[in-house]
Amino acid sequence: MKKSMLMAMAAGTMLFACGQSEEKSDMNNPFFEAYNTPFEVPPFDKIENAHFAPALREGIKEHQAEIDAIVANTEEPTFANTIEALENAGSLLAKVNIVFSNLNSANTNDELQAIAREMAPELSKHSDNITLNEQLFERIKSVYENQDAFGLNSEQTQLLDKTYKRFVRNGANLNDADKEKLREINSKLSVLSLQFGQNVLAETNGFKLVVDNEADLAGLPQELRDAAAADAKAAGEEGKWVFTLQNPSIMPFLQYAENRELRKQIWDAYQKRGGQGNEHDNQQALIEMANLRRVKANLLGYATHADYVLEETMAKNAENVYALLNQLWTPALAKAKEERAEMQAIATAEGADYQIEAWDWRFYEEKLRKQKFELDEQEVKPYFSLDKVQEGVFMVTNRLFGLTFNEISNIPTYHPEAKAYEVKEADGTHVGVLYMDFHPRASKRGGAWMTSYRPQQMENGERKAPIISIVCNFSKPTANAPALLTFDEVTTFFHEFGHALHGLLSNVQYRSLAGTSVPRDFVELPSQIMENWATEPSVMKEYAKHYQTGEVIPDDIIAKLNNSGTFGQGFATTEYLASSFLDLDYHTQTADITMNANDFEVASMKKIGLIGEIIPRHKSTYFQHIFSGGYSSGYYSYIWSGVLDTDAFQAFKETELFNQEKAQAFRKEILERGGTDEPMTMYVNFRGAEPKIDALLRKRGLDQVKVDRTK
């Protein structure tokens, strides 16, 4: 997931099931029968909100019965009767929960959110009932300690190792009193995390900037005006213009609106989300979550939550993460200060009698871009219509891996805007199904992410194909133009498609090792490497075509894009790193945080010297990645994977962009293998050596930055 999140982590959500059971009260419930749909996708057209709770609880009942059968087995524990049996248990529960979790992110409503709040404690309880089952753990431990006797292959060994560690890391070795404490903590965290995300969605949907004077639109491109007029009409404000906190609305408004007061108004609403002291306030909840996570880590034998999380990553510990962040922070902050000075000079020259503030940054950055590179994003966007960018993504994927994508018309979808595609090998072999859902709406959380409705696995010796989905919040079409993407949205599309390929091309035995079931700081490698092809001139000329004339993007515009490739990286890197530091600061505490969220954030940013004109990319009260998205102590992962992806792409740059030997090696050693080996081992198998940071510094223009430590 780029910038927001992998979000709805399907492989993970399958493990966090529900609580009490009830009889199959509704035999018409579509979850209680095999999916009679193309490629066995969920029958979205038949699924109703009322089906979820009964199906979840029936799934719990069946899952618990399967666990009881494993425990009651009188035979000596073996890999087959314990580890594989556990792996295969809970199919109904996984089937229901994966649909429920995904819909609650991509197409939610009040009723779904209420069901989620109702089920969260039951989900937590059921998960704990499994991982804290002493008899079950004794069988797992027996297999683990006697694994040499079972003749396991490397993937089976990996599954055994991960299963054993999962139980240990979830409290299997605790005494009874501490197990009860852990249950209480897990239950509280499940509810708090869910409510945090719901609050952010409510705050995002709850604000509208209504403009009724056309003069206040000065500076805004026509495309944005048209979108705002359409949003106003939908909101019952016909004849006016409505701007929202969805990225395709607020970000270009901040970039182009000449009305400084309105920029400040919408900016304040954006950066105060979840921190306004109303019913959707997240300040107390996030502090409670951070403290509960630390207590949980202590119970499990770790000094901090970060120690607990990072043990299972490539980084291994917080010291290594801080070292990387600090290595990048110094040149990034210096670059941001240079950018600030250049923008202030423009503002002053234009007669501004103020120092630029956070709500001015994007406005003057756009002016600086035009001044330095004669590059206007509005000049570029007509070449990036969504349909042409999609053709470009398909083209790159086809030339790298031979895959084809055919839209499926006779298939259920969860929303009219979601489209489905069958993915095939070059020889016509079915690979999987891909859903794509591109535009913002009130029922969808912000950001962009990849998830699955069925992870790949093997059944009876045959590959069970995955059902993958990517969900985005791109600029919408207007009455006068198709969806035209910013260049950032273009790279986001390629990014999420890389995640999709990781899920689609998975070729492993066990579902819990499939696709993106890898450490957080490795999962962004397949996504971020795809962004590199999006920016290559020869590739761009194949997909960037003017939506009206069909003209290929001119060489001079490509040259401007290339020349400006490192433009704004001081700001972009600094705001990202600030959030990464903030995440780690919350989760490296060794005692309860007693200050409020705002004071904690201020102290964290003061420590690293963040300048006042920049805020963290995600402020605490809407930092969904770490408080409701599974990235706690892991937001640094994007930059860690950035080291990997820039180094990995050099393998193609050193040979040719679509080198088949390198592409097949990347597929075989990375994309197909899921979590079946250690990440660095898989990377070295592909690249031949461990990665170096040099390529990342060059890519971001931070390798030549002069640092003045007096400012």
Residues catalogued as catalytic? 496
Q: Count of CB atoms within 10 A of residue 566's CB? A: 17
State how far the Cα of 591 lies from the Cα of 287, in Å rounded to an integer: 12
State how far the Cα of 275 lies from the Cα of 280, in Å rounded to an integer: 8
Separation of CA 660 from chain center? 29
User: CA torsion sign, 288 to 289 to 290 to 294?
Assistant: positive
H helices of 235-317, in order, are: 247-256, 260-271, 283-299, 305-310
Write the CA distances from 348 to 111, 343, 353, integer angstroms.
Answer: 52, 9, 7
Q: How is residue 459 annotated by DSSP? A: E
Q: How is residue 382 annotated by DSSP? A: G
Q: Count of CB atoms within 10 A of residue 233's CB? A: 15
State how far the Cα of 38 lies from the Cα of 411, in Å rounded to an integer: 6
Strand segments, DSSP code E, in 443-527 are 449-454, 457-459, 462-464, 467-471
The residues facing 406 across adjacent strands are 422
Q: How is residue 441 annotated by DSSP? A: -
Phi-psi region of 431 (alpha: psi -120 to 50; beta: other; left: phi over 0): alpha
105 contacts 8 by C-beta, under 8 angstroms: yes
The residues facing 552 across adjacent strands are 545
Q: Coil, helix or strand for 451?
A: strand
Whose structure tokens read 């994966």?
A: 98
Strands 467-471 and 462-464: unpaired
State how far the Cα of 19 lies from the Cα of 53, in Å rounded to an integer: 10
- CA neighbours within 13 Å on the CB side: how many for 53? 15
Instruction: Find the helix or strand (DSSP H, E) in which 66 lies.
Output: helix 52-72
Question: Among residues 178, 459, 162, 164, which one has the least CA distance to residue 298?
Answer: 178
Question: Among residues 419, 423, 422, 414, which one has the least CA distance to residue 435?
Answer: 419
Write the CA distances from 286 to 169, 256, 274, 391, 664, integer angstroms.
Answer: 23, 34, 10, 42, 44
Instruction: Find the helix or strand (DSSP H, E) in which 211 lies.
Output: strand 209-211
State how far the Cα of 541 lies from the Cα of 609, in Å rounded to an integer: 42
Question: Among residues 68, 112, 98, which one has the least CA distance to residue 86?
Answer: 68
Amino acid at 691: P
